Amino acid sequence: MDKRFNDIPKPKYVPLEKLIGSREHKMHSNGDHRSPAERADTSGNLQIPYDDFVFEVGSPVGVMLPPDLRLGSNAGGGMAYGVVRWAGYINDEPMLGLEMDEDAFNGGYLNDVFYFECEPGKGFFARPEQCVPDERIQQMTLMDESPHDDHALTVAHDSLPGDFPPLFNVVNSKDLSLLVGRCKGIQGHHNSCYLDATLFAMFTTTSVFDFILDRPREEGDIPEYEEVTRVLKEDIVNSLRVHRFVGAAQVMKLRELLDKLGSVSGLTCEEKDPEEFLNCLTQMLQVEPFLHLSSGQSAHLYQMFVEKDEDLGLPWFQQILEQSFFQQELKLQQMPSVFIVQMPRFGRQFKVYPRVLPSFQLDMTDLLMNSPRPCHICASLAHLECISCYQQTKSIEKSTFCDACYNRKHLRLSSHQASSKRLTVSAGFQDFSSTKHLPRQTMELFALLCIETSHYVAFVKCGQQSNSPWVFFDSMADRQGQNNIPEVVNCDEIYEWLHPEKLVAHPDDRSLPPLVKKIVSDAYMCFYRSNSVAMYN
C-alpha cells in the first residue's frame, strides 16, 4: 500500500461534552418542524480543510469516538463511519454534519436549528479533528491513481485461516447494525454482481455450504484444489464473516482461478449468471450433487420449466414448483440439505409469471419419492394420487387419498379414476393410521437472488426463527471514482407486504416499496435449506 496512507494522523479524542448533536432532537428526523429562524445560516456548502485532507459534502469519513460514547454497535472508544452531509461553521468553529452508517442521535438538528437531511436517527455532528477519510475508501483511491486500467480495491484485510461461524445468531434489529451499512458485503467490480450476490447468499448467514470449504483433498481433485478452497474460505468467506467486507481484489483471485481452471471463459470481466458460477465452482471442486431426481438425473440446482397457468393469478413459489414437478412427472429421491431453484424465465428478461410470492417455508412432503403422505381427507396413510384433482385444486397435497376416501370421492368421477396412480409406500408405514401424526417435511427460504437490467442483488435471512430479519445486498450500490461501493440495508417491510391481499391491492409495481417490488417481480433464484438434514450431514 502507498506509504502516504501509513502516515495518516490519528483522529483526536474529543471529550463527550464537546461532541455536537443531542438525542433530544431525534423526534425531528421524521419531519421538518423548522421555524424561519431555524432555517437561517445553514447552507453548509463549504469545504473544510484539516491537515492534508479536505472534507466536503459526500466525503466518506471515520470518526473516533471517546470511550464514554456508544454509537450503534460501537461500545465507545472505537471508529464509527459515515458520510459528510453538511460542512460549515457554527459559532465560528468548523463543523461537519454526518449521516452515520449506524443509529446515532438526531435528524440533522443542533440546538433547535436544522442543518441537513439524513435517514431518521442517523445524524451526528463532529469536529474535523475527530475525523479521517474512511480507510475502506482510501484503498480505492490508491487504485484510481494506479497506471493500470484495473481499478479494483486492494485487499482490505489479510487472509484469515481458521473456521469462523456465519452470522446466523442475528435475532433483532440492533444486531443487524453489525452487518448493514456502506462498505459492507462484497465489493463489485467488472460485472461481478452475479458472483458477489451468490457468495453473499451462500455464506454470510448460513453454514449449509461450509462442507465445500472444508473437504480435504482427494484422489482425482485438480492440482489447484487447495488453492481454490483456500482463496474461497480465507480470502472471501472468513473476511465476510469477520470483517463484514470483502474487497474486489480478494474476489478477483477466485475469479481468475475459475476462469483459468474451469470450463466457462470470461469470468473475470464478462456478464455471467449465478448458475454459470455455481456450475463452474461445483464441477471444479467435485461437489456432490444436492438433488437426485426420480428420472435418474442429479444436479446442484433445479430449473423450473412451466407453462403459464392463468388460473393461478398471483402464485406462491410453492404452487409453481409443484406445477413444474407435476408437468415433468418428477419427484426427488430424497430430502436435500439445500435446494437451489431457478425461477421460470426465458432468458434474463421474459418472466412466465410477472409476480411470484416467495414461500418462506416450502412443503416438500408431496415432492419426495416413496415418502409417506397423508390422505388429505382423513389423514391416514395415502395410497393414491389423482392427477385430475391436482389440475382442479392446483395443490399436490389435496390430490392424495387413502383407498376408502378415494372411492367415496371418485365414485361418480370415472375420468378421475383413469388419471389416478398408486403411491409406493415403504413397508414400515403400511400400518399407519389416522391416530398417528405424520409430520410434513419442510425447507426454509434463507436467500433470494434478484435481477433487473442484468444486475444481480441478494436478499438474505439473518437468523433461523420464522420472523428473523432480512437484509438486502447490492455489491454496486454506489460509486467512488472508478470503484463500486457495496452496501447492505435492512429490509423491514418483507413480512408486512408479502401477502396476496396486500399485493393484489397494489397491482402497479410502482406503488410497491422498491425492495418489495424486487422480491415479487425480479426474483431469479431461491435458496432453501433443511436444517435437520444439514445437521445430519
What are 139-151's pLDDT values in tens digits? 444 333 333 334 3
Rounded Cα–Cα distance for residues 308 and 324 (Å): 10
Rounded Cα–Cα distance for residues 268 and 257 (Å): 9
Full DSSP string of 459-487: EEE-SSSTT--EEEEEEEEEEETTEEEEE
**What is the reported pLDDT for 90?**
87
302 DSSP β-pair partners: 341
Phi, psi of 235 (to 5 degrees): -90, -25
106 DSSP β-pair partners: 123
Point out the domain boundary residue: 133, 160, 190.
133
Q: Give the chain's mean pLDDT.
A: 81
Rounded Cα–Cα distance for residues 120 and 108 (Å): 9
Whether pTM exceeds 0.85? no
**What is the reported pLDDT for 433?**
54
**What is the reported pLDDT for 307?**
87
464 domain residue, yes or no: no
The single-letter DSSP state of residue 157 is S
Output the nine-digit C-alpha cell for 380.
Answer: 391416514
Residue of 193, 386, 405, 450 with catalytic role: 193
Q: What is the torsional sign of CA 337, 214, 178, 5?
A: negative
**What is the reported pLDDT for 346?**
61
268 domain residue, yes or no: no
43 domain residue, yes or no: yes
Mention every residue, 6+ apart, whose C-beta is less than 8 A from residue 436.
none
**What is the reported pLDDT for 378?**
86
Point out the domain boundary residue: 133, 168, 194.
133
Q: Is 468 exposed, middle or buried (0-12, 13-18, 19+ CB in 10 A)?
A: middle
520 domain residue, yes or no: no
Residue of 157, 243, 292, 455 with catalytic role: 455
**What is the reported pLDDT for 160?**
86
Q: What is the CATH number of the domain that holds 73?
A: 2.30.30.190
66 domain residue, yes or no: yes
**What is the reported pLDDT for 72?**
62
386 given a catalytic annotation: no
Point out the domain boundary residue: 108, 133, 158.
133
200 domain residue, yes or no: no
Note down the domain range covering 9: 3-133
Mention every residue, 6+ apart, whose C-beta is less than 8 A from residue 274.
194, 195, 197, 198, 449, 456, 524, 525
45 domain residue, yes or no: yes
Closest CA to 268 of 165, 319, 192: 192
36-94: pLDDT as tens digits? 334 334 555 566 776 667 788 877 888 888 777 767 655 566 778 888 889 888 888 88
285 domain residue, yes or no: no
193 given a catalytic annotation: yes
Rounded Cα–Cα distance for residues 465 and 444 (Å): 10
Domain count, the chain: 2
**What is the reported pLDDT for 23?**
34
- Enumerate residue ranges in the chain where pLDDT < 50: 1-41, 139-155, 537
**What is the reported pLDDT for 338?**
97
